[in-house]
Structure 1
Amino acid sequence: MSGMSLAVGPRTSGTDDTAAERGQQQPSTMLGGVMGSLRVIELQLVAFIMVFSASGLVPLIDLAFPVATTLYLLLLSRLSFPPLHSTLPSSSSSSQEIFRGSTWFQVYVVLGTTVGLFLPLAHVLGGFARGDDGAVRSATPHLFLLSCQILTENVVGALGAAFSPPVRALVPLLYTVRRVFVAVDWVYDAWGNRAAAAAPQEAVAWMWFGRYLAVANLVYFSTNLLVFLIPKFLPRAFEKYFRMRDEVYAKTAEDRHAAAATVAAKPVESKKAD
């Protein structure tokens, strides 16, 4: 959601963990199980969300955005930020972690999953049931882009070191930027185009639920973009990448010096043999 699936690398085996690391992980075992369950639920929802999101309720620009973003990320991965894992020592490339989140950060991610995925999904399904085309049309682009982001994050996370840290960090950043603009349109539709006319109390409550949900998504993902992704997540990704690149250059220079020393030592050994 906020880049959490890309912030942590592949899980290591229990034999590689130290006793201190095990002690640090034990307090968050239960919350980690919740995060794993949410990941499974998200994957199950992706196919369903994309089916009804592609039924004419998503604008063309939002349909084209995931394709353009994927192509752009692939170009960056090949031309600007190629992966360096193949040339790094095993000790340097063993962890793909970009940002180590605390327990409170995981709670923050769960909150974002609830506000950004589950409640909008319930809002859209409720709109279908109530015949509220405005609510469905307003919230569906957000769900479509979020489902594409979840799918992309899981694919990139599964490939691991095949993508460099900057490319991995740009996935949630680019999608969040676009979804902030979509959330602005959602807020405008919910508050500007739906006047609170005389209606049953249930309909009024439903209308205010949609309004507050739109505002909550705008506030959460704007905060996520401006407070976490840009000032913290993205700089750490670039820092990790350039540190890895410096290690590659240092290792390459060391190998060249060693090879040159070996070549220079061979004539001396041959002369001694003569």
Structure 2
Amino acid sequence: MSSGNEATDSQITEQEYNELKQSEDPVTSTFKLGPQRGQTFRTVHKANYISFWQLNSLMVMVVLSASGLVSLQDFAFVVFSIIYLFFLSKFAFPKLTDPMEEPPVFNPESYLVRLGPLFGGVIGIAIPIAYIFEGFIEGDKEGIRAAAPHVFLLASQVFMDGVAFSDRFSTPIRVFVPVFYNSKRIFTLVDWVKREFSKADDQEFGGSASERRLFLGRVLAIVNLVFWTYDLFFFMLPVYLPRAFRKYYAAAKTD
């Protein structure tokens, strides 16, 4: 093979790079990094690499689990979601076409589509992790126990988003992950809000944290509850889910 052909095979061309970027739906591949220039098109497409954000999410899951802050029910939920994902992929929504040929559900260059996951990552993972770390310093055991389930489940969702967005799964499977996890996290967020507002009368909490921490915990819990409730009931279920299913069944008719 000539050196020119070798160069073409070893480097992603501009057209192939754009196809890879377009194939990533930022709604389901939350915080997932795009393909890097210099990688081979064949390797990126088949390797289903683990992204930087997936690795960090996995680390958060392991740390919270090892610290005893994750309940057996939440851990079992994650295990069940993995099993159920493969079950749906096998018996309900098998892959119909090459995912590289599937058009994205939404325009990945849309400003709102990119801003939503970024905002969700900041208020859903970054700030709550800082809140939990400060809780260890302040001795706010109740605040840590209240915030940890949400952070664990959202980190699990980010990791599973990357798994579902590989070329082994169809579009409905990619929708399944955020809808399934958001539905579960609504209950943990409601519990978080209740615990934050019960701190003032909790003798265990006492005066171990400042008014600033009390205010921050309550605002953080409410903002997350409002954001993820809106995301589930006003975007995922009425907008994203129907569009994804229409694309899937339209592709099924053409096969």
Give yes or no for contact 2:124–2:224 (8 Å, CA) kept in 1: yes
* Residue 92 of structure 2 is aligned to residue 80 of structure 1: yes
* Residue 101 of structure 2 is aligned to residue 94 of structure 1: yes
- The corresponding residue for 1:115 is 123
- The corresponding residue for 2:82 is 70
TM-score by length of 1: 0.70
Aligned length: 215
Tell me the SS of whatever aligns to 2:107. coil
Percent identity of the aligned residues? 32
Q: Which amino acid aligns with 1:72?
A: Y
- Unmatched 5+ stretches in structure 2: 1-11, 23-30, 35-49
- The corresponding residue for 2:69 is 57
Q: Deviations over 1:122-146 (max 9, x none)?
A: 1011111222111111111111111
1: CA distance between counterparts of 2:80 and 2:119? 29
1: CA distance between counterparts of 2:137 and 2:120? 25
2: CA distance between counterparts of 1:150 and 1:209? 24
* Residue 183 of structure 2 is aligned to residue 177 of structure 1: yes
Q: Shift of residue 95 of structure 1?
A: 3.0
Match of 1:192 among 185, 188, 198: 198
Q: Which amino acid aligns with 1:53?
A: L
Tell me the SS of whatever aligns to 1:84. coil
- The corresponding residue for 1:261 is none
Q: Which runs of 4+ in 1 moved over 6 A?
A: none
* CA RMSD, 1 decimal: 2.8
2: CA distance between counterparts of 1:73 and 1:119? 29
Tell me the SS of whatever aligns to 1:85. coil
- Unmatched 5+ stretches in structure 1: 1-11, 26-33, 87-91, 249-274
2: CA distance between counterparts of 1:13 and 1:177? 40
Give yes or no for contact 1:35–1:110 (8 Å, CA) kept in 2: no
TM-score by length of 2: 0.75
Q: Which amino acid aligns with 1:210?
A: G
2: CA distance between counterparts of 1:69 and 1:113? 21
More helix by share: 1
State which structure, 1 or 2, has the greater radius of gyration over its C-alpha atoms. Answer: 1
Q: Shift of residue 213 of structure 1?
A: 0.3
Q: Which amino acid aligns with 2:147?
A: A
Tell me the SS of whatever aligns to 2:156. helix
Higher relative contact order (CA 8 A, sep 6+): 1
2: CA distance between counterparts of 1:223 and 1:167? 21
1: CA distance between counterparts of 2:201 and 2:139? 17
Match of 1:247 among 240, 251, 254: 254
CA pair 190-69 structure 1, distance change in 2 beyond 3 A = same
Q: Deviations over 1:83-141 (max 9, x none)?
A: 1116xxxxx95135222251122122211111101111110111112221111111111
